[in-house]
Amino acid sequence: MTALQNPLRDGWSLIVKRECATCAMIVPVIARLARELSALTVYTQDDPSFPEGVDSVDDSDLAASWHADIDTVPTLILRRDGAEVSRTAGWVRQEWRELTGIADLGADLPEFRPGCGSMSVDPDIVDKLRVRFGGEILHARKIEIADAEDEFEAMFARGYTDGLPVVPPTPERVMRMLAGTTRDPQEVVAIAPPDLVELTIEKIAINAVMAGCLPEYFPWVVAALEAICTDGFNMHGVLATTMPVGPVLVCNGPGTRKINMNSGVNALGQGNRANLTIGRAVQLTIRNVGGGRPGEVDRAAHGNPGKLSFCFAEDELGSPFTSLSVARGFDPSQNTVTAFTGEGPRCVVDQLARQPDQLAQTFAACLRTVHHPKLPFAFDAMLVIGPEHARVFAEAKWGRERLLTEINDRLQLPGSEIVRGAGGMAEGVQEAFKDAVLPKFRPGGLLLVHAGGSAGLFSAIIGGWASGALGSDPVTKVVSS
């Protein structure tokens, strides 16, 4: 964000408002300061006649308070040579005495009163102030909507939505979203496919507003877009394929808990604002900025509901495994987003296995069917293990690598079973591979994540798309403010 230009004069500045009980209490102190301090300017936020008997500057437009970054009134500030030297907020008698050099100031007043919130940080008006005084921050083209036009229907008509209503991205709401990051609104963070448009922080913020994000979600949206707008992820190919895949976003790190992401009951479903709106903001950005619209570049034959939004957090605290992000080389203290190209989830049911090898066998049998049981090596997959199933491996002290090894060992497919025509199915590998043994997944092509509700002996499989250079690789990015 751009730096605020402080309009306060050199010398002493005092910001007050009549409706503040602490400001009213210190009126005798203000009168004394006006007599004894040189160059005192009193700014009044709500009533220019307050305080009585002291000349004040009308700050009812809150320009001085906004640019001076006033959180609390009263606030007393000392400036020299155009720079702030010190300030004190509320009434703390000793601080006021030390700041002014008046040893007996406020002798008949209490030692401490907390003050009141500045009108410039009032939630009802702060967004308007951001727009009014934030400078030339917003550069995006403005869309005019007639007074008689329904703004929600107008956005449907203009093709800005994913089929569901979106939040109108007013300048006030966009400025509020930008408060969730320290990055410059005009910073280009990626080139958005398929139209290869420069993707700025501002453009992402507009779509995050439309998706319903809170400002604290915004850095996660940016990181996810940085991940999918890479050659490795190949978002253009993900759009253009006729397979039903889209970005699946797995979030890791302590920040997932700070913004209350869901990693438990219904983690892959509806009901959690952070999960749903982060994923939706990513999809809307690719649609509205990059031009990735269904029926145009997006050629999915069926698609899947996850193309609206597919984002969830990994349950790291309850997991017996190292997390996905740690397995991919990141520190547990880092907040990360891993983008995986996936279809909709399918359920794995095994309510009887109590030994790890039994459950690994179930997983392998179900994973073999990803896209087709006779197609090896071409597709990645993500296995989302629920807590009840994870407990079986925890009790046997099987970690991530042991489990993946056991599953992959069970997915070495004899060529005689997967050649074209075998099993009465035309699909399969060429006859030249009938004597070979081929893996279902390439090395590292099976990802493991721990998430889901604690009741239910279920897990989930998310089938991937064409892997590697011919398709997509998972990409992990650090979330930064």
Please give the pLDDT value at position 134.
76
Residue 321: which of 336, 332, 310 has the closest Cα? Answer: 332
Other beta carbons less than 10 A from residue 292's beta carbon: 23
When pLDDT is averaged across residues 403-413 and rounded to a whole number, the result is 98
pTM of the model: 0.88
pLDDT band, very low/low/confident/very high, at 5 (cuts 50, 70, 90): low
If you ran DSSP here, which 8-state letter would residue 17 be given? -
Residue 477's Cβ-count burial label (10 Å; 0-12, 13-18, 19+) is: buried
pLDDT reading at 2 higher than 60:
no
Distance from C-alpha of 37 to C-alpha of 40, rounded to nearest angstrom: 6
- How many CA atoms lie less than 13 Å away from 480 in the CB half-sphere? 10
- Extract the runs of DSSP E, i.e. beta strands, from 329-372: 336-349
Q: What are phi and psi of 222, to 5 degrees?
A: -60, -45
When pLDDT is averaged across residues 111-128 and rounded to a whole number, the result is 94
What's the chain's average pLDDT? Answer: 95
Cα three-residue angle 149-152-157, rounded to 5 degrees = 75
Instruction: Quote the tokens at residue 357.
Output: 């090898």
Task: Encode 163-175: b = buried (16+ Cβ within 10 Å), e = exposed.
Answer: eeebbebebbbbb
- pLDDT one-digit tens code per residue, 222-232: 999 999 999 99
Please give the pLDDT value at position 267.
98
Per the listing, tokens 């591979």 go with: 433
| Residues of the chain above pLDDT 70, percent | 99
Other beta carbons less than 10 A from residue 124's beta carbon: 7
Mean pLDDT lowest for which of 86-95, 133-142, 170-179, 242-251?
A: 133-142
CATH 3.40.30.10, the chain: domain bounds: 11-125
- pLDDT one-digit tens code per residue, 349-397: 999 999 999 999 999 999 999 999 999 999 999 999 999 999 999 999 9
pLDDT reading at 300 higher than 60:
yes
pLDDT band, very low/low/confident/very high, at 152 (cuts 50, 70, 90): very high
Please give the pLDDT value at position 8.
87
pLDDT reading at 139 higher than 80:
yes
Please give the pLDDT value at position 6.
63
pLDDT band, very low/low/confident/very high, at 137 (cuts 50, 70, 90): confident
- pLDDT one-digit tens code per residue, 308-335: 999 999 999 999 999 999 999 999 999 9
**225 membership: H or E segment, kind and range:** helix 218-228
- How many CA atoms lie less than 13 Å away from 74 in the CB half-sphere? 29
pLDDT reading at 4 higher than 60:
no
Residue 437: which of 421, 463, 464, 417 has the closest Cα? Answer: 417
Distance from C-alpha of 449 to C-alpha of 333, rounded to nearest angstrom: 17
Per the listing, tokens 């069926």 go with: 302
When pLDDT is averaged across residues 196-216 and rounded to a whole number, the result is 98
Other beta carbons less than 10 A from residue 430's beta carbon: 9
Tell me the three state secondary structure of residue 327: helix
Distance from C-alpha of 350 to C-alpha of 458, rounded to nearest angstrom: 7
Please give the pLDDT value at position 1.
38
**460 membership: H or E segment, kind and range:** strand 458-466
Instruction: Quote the tokens at residue 45.
Output: 């936020």
Instruction: Quote the tokens at residue 61.
Output: 């437009």
Q: What CA–CA distances, in Å, run from 314 to 184, 333, 359, 465? A: 30, 14, 21, 21
Fold type of domain 11-125: Glutaredoxin (3.40.30)
Distance from C-alpha of 388 to C-alpha of 219, rounded to nearest angstrom: 32
Residue 5's Cβ-count burial label (10 Å; 0-12, 13-18, 19+) is: exposed
Distance from C-alpha of 155 to C-alpha of 165, rounded to nearest angstrom: 8
- pLDDT one-digit tens code per residue, 153-168: 999 999 999 999 999 9
Mean pLDDT lowest for which of 88-102, 131-145, 452-466?
A: 131-145
Distance from C-alpha of 160 to C-alpha of 164, rounded to nearest angstrom: 10
Q: What CA–CA distances, in Å, run from 230 to 116, 117, 392, 475, 476? A: 48, 45, 38, 8, 11
Query: Is-cis flag, bond preceding 305, omega within 30?
Result: no
DSSP notation for 269-308 = SSS-HHHHHHHHHHHHHHHHTT---BTTTB--SS--GGGT
Tell me the three state secondary structure of residue 478: strand
Distance from C-alpha of 40 to C-alpha of 167, rounded to nearest angstrom: 45
- pLDDT one-digit tens code per residue, 40-54: 999 999 999 999 999
Please give the pLDDT value at position 392.
98
Residue 476: beta bridge partners? 338
